[in-house]
Every structure is written in structure tokens, then in C-alpha cells.
Amino acid sequence: MNKSISIAAVVPAAGVGARMGLNHPKQYININGKTVLEHTLDKLSNVSHIEHIFVAISETDEYFSDLDLRHIALSRVNGGKERADSVLNALKSMSDNPPKWVLVHDAARPMVDISDIEELITQCLASGEGGILASKVKDTIKRGASHSEETVPREMLWQALTPQMFLYEELLSALSVGLSKGATITDEASAMELQGKPVRLVEGRSDNIKITTPEDHALACFLMSQQKKSS
């Protein structure tokens, strides 16, 4: 690993993907001849600013070692019980040679556009602030349990995506403090928000979908085939 590294990527990939109804984790589902995780890692490896990738894998994972990732500069670290635990484990594994910035990306978002990642990096470096890819909410949003009780104005609503990029030391502290207090941390931005840190919103493509259900997988297969036709 380069001693002058400035940006490292973290890919939490220790989940089981129960909602997919499969006997293996969703990151190993096949899309056009490669697993979801391979597609994701290929995307990150083609971002010139990223010098090393840390993949957080469950200790009981039986699939990762079968992937051919020799062309990618990466390290495997042990994942945790929740996403935040996996990311924190990865950050701690870098402590002997920490990067200045860390970019965290979901293993199950193989459709992310490389130009969006580069724009996120550009804006974060230029401003000195952390930020996330996000897409503006387009649909009418309702609040309620079994019945609609309110229509929520969507002008200020964004759907959080990944990657999410923050200064290494600040993210390490935010996750450590948040987890120690039992806070609900759904993504890196939520941990930073709890510490009063700025989180820049960088608009990205809405087809940067997360594969969570069989319907998502079908859509990702279609989108991937369209990308290949246009490339």
C-alpha cells in the first residue's frame, strides 16, 4: 500500500441479503457473467483517485476467495454485525498508515457511474467537507402507518446513495462515538450528522440502485445490458 495514499475506499460486504431469499449473500448474485461485488469493485478500481480498497467480509464467507480480483489493489478485513461495525473495522485496519479521506460504497450498488464518483471526490476535496451522492426525490411522499396522514413536501428531500466520502479521522471518530452510545447509524452520513459535521449533497444518477430484492436484481440486469450497448 502506497505510503502517500490520500483516498481509500471501503466496501462493507458482510451482509447476508435475507430479502433476496437466496442461500448465498446478495453480493454474489450474477449479473452478465460477474458477481455484483466484482462489478462494484471494478467500478471503484477505475477511479484514479482511489489508491486502495478495503473490503469488509464476514468471517464465515465462503465465496469471496473464489473471485479473481488480482488486478485490483485491495485488502480483506473482517466485517461486523452491522454495516457501521464493518466500516469501523476497516477504518481501524488502516490505523498504521491512514489515508486522509475515506470513500465508502455499498457492495450492492454495482450501477454507480464513475463520473458521479469523480464529481463527489472533486467537490469534497475542493470544499474540504465530507459529502454523499444523493438523488432528489421525484415522487409524492406520504406520511402514515396504515393510512395517509400527510403529504410531505419533497423540495428539500433527497435519497441518500453511495459512495459517501469523509475525512478519515472524522469518520473514525463519528462511528466510534455513535456506536459506543448505541445510536442508530444507517449510513456514514448519519454518524457525521450526529457529531454536527457538514455533509455535502452531490447529485448523482438515480439509477445507482441498491440490489435488495429480486426486482432490483432484474432491473440491474437490464440496466447493465443497456450500459454495455451504449459503451
pLDDT in tens, 29-56: 999 899 999 999 999 999 999 999 999 9
Q: Please say whether the beta carbons of 44 and 38 come within 8 A.
A: no
Q: What is the mean pLDDT of residues 12-41?
A: 83
Contacts of 59 (CB under 8 A, 6+ apart): 78, 79
Cα(112)–Cα(117) distance, rounded to whole angstroms? 8
- Look at residue 16 and tell me whether its pLDDT is greater than 70: no
- Look at residue 1 and tell me whether its pLDDT is greater than 50: no
DSSP state of 153: P
Which grid cell is 111? 450501477
Which grid cell is 131? 459529502
Cα(93)–Cα(86) distance, rounded to whole angstroms? 11
Query: Of the candidates 9, 115, 23, 99, which has an alpha carbon nearest to the alpha carbon of residue 63?
Result: 23
- Look at residue 147 and tell me whether its pLDDT is greater than 50: yes
Q: What is the pLDDT of residue 5?
A: 54
Query: Of the candidates 86, 90, 76, 74, which has an alpha carbon nearest to the alpha carbon of residue 179?
Result: 86
pLDDT digits (tens, 9 = 90+) for 64-114: 999 999 999 999 999 999 999 999 999 999 999 999 999 999 999 999 999
Q: Please say whether the beta carbons of 102 and 7 come within 8 A.
A: yes
- Look at residue 205 and tell me whether its pLDDT is greater than 60: yes
Q: What is the pLDDT of residue 15?
A: 78
Q: What is the mean pLDDT of residues 188-200?
A: 98
DSSP state of 18: G
Lowest mean pLDDT among 18-22, 88-92, 165-169: 18-22
What architecture is domain 7-230?
Alpha-Beta Complex (3.90)
Q: What is the pTM of this model?
A: 0.92
78-106: b (≥16 Cβ within 10 Å) or e? ebbebbbbbbbbbbeebeeeebebbbbbb
